[in-house]
Amino acid sequence: MTAGELALVIGAVLCAIAFAGLAVIGIDRAASAPVLPFLLIVVAAATWGVTNVMTRVAQPPDPLAMLVWASLVAPLPLLGLSLVFEGPADVGDALAGVDVAGVAALLFVAGAAGLFGFAAWTTLLKRHTAAAVTPFALLVPVFGMASAALLLGERPSPLELGGAVLICAGLAATLKPARSPAPPVAAATAAATG
Instruction: Note the pLDDT of residue 150.
Output: 92
Residue 185 lies in a domain: no
- pLDDT for 142 beyond 60: yes
CB 164 within 8 A of CB 142: yes
Q: How far apart are CA 143 and CA 152, in angstroms?
A: 13
Residue 95 lies in a domain: no
Residue 58 lies in a domain: yes
Residue 111 lies in a domain: yes
The string of pLDDT tens digits covering residues 75-89 is 889 899 999 999 999
Q: Total structural domains in the chain?
A: 1
The predicted model scores a pTM of: 0.59
Of 3-12, 40-49, 121-130, 145-154, which range is least confident? 3-12
Q: Which domain holds residue 123?
A: 3-85+100-179
Residue 59 lies in a domain: yes
The highest-confidence range among 16-25, 89-98, 104-113, by mean pLDDT, is: 89-98
DSSP letter (8 states) at residue 108: I
Q: How far apart are CA 164 and CA 25, in angstroms?
A: 7
Residue 117 lies in a domain: yes
Q: Which residues contact 36 (CB under 8 A, 6 or more apart)?
A: none
Residue 92 lies in a domain: no
Give the DSSP letter string of 1-32: --HHHHHHHHHHHHHHHHHHHHHHHHHHHHTT
The string of pLDDT tens digits covering residues 143-184 is 888 988 998 899 988 888 888 888 888 888 777 665 555 555
**Mean pLDDT on 44-73:** 79
Q: Which residues contact 106 (CB under 8 A, 6 or more apart)?
A: none
Residue 164 lies in a domain: yes
Q: How far apart are CA 126 and CA 167, in angstroms?
A: 25
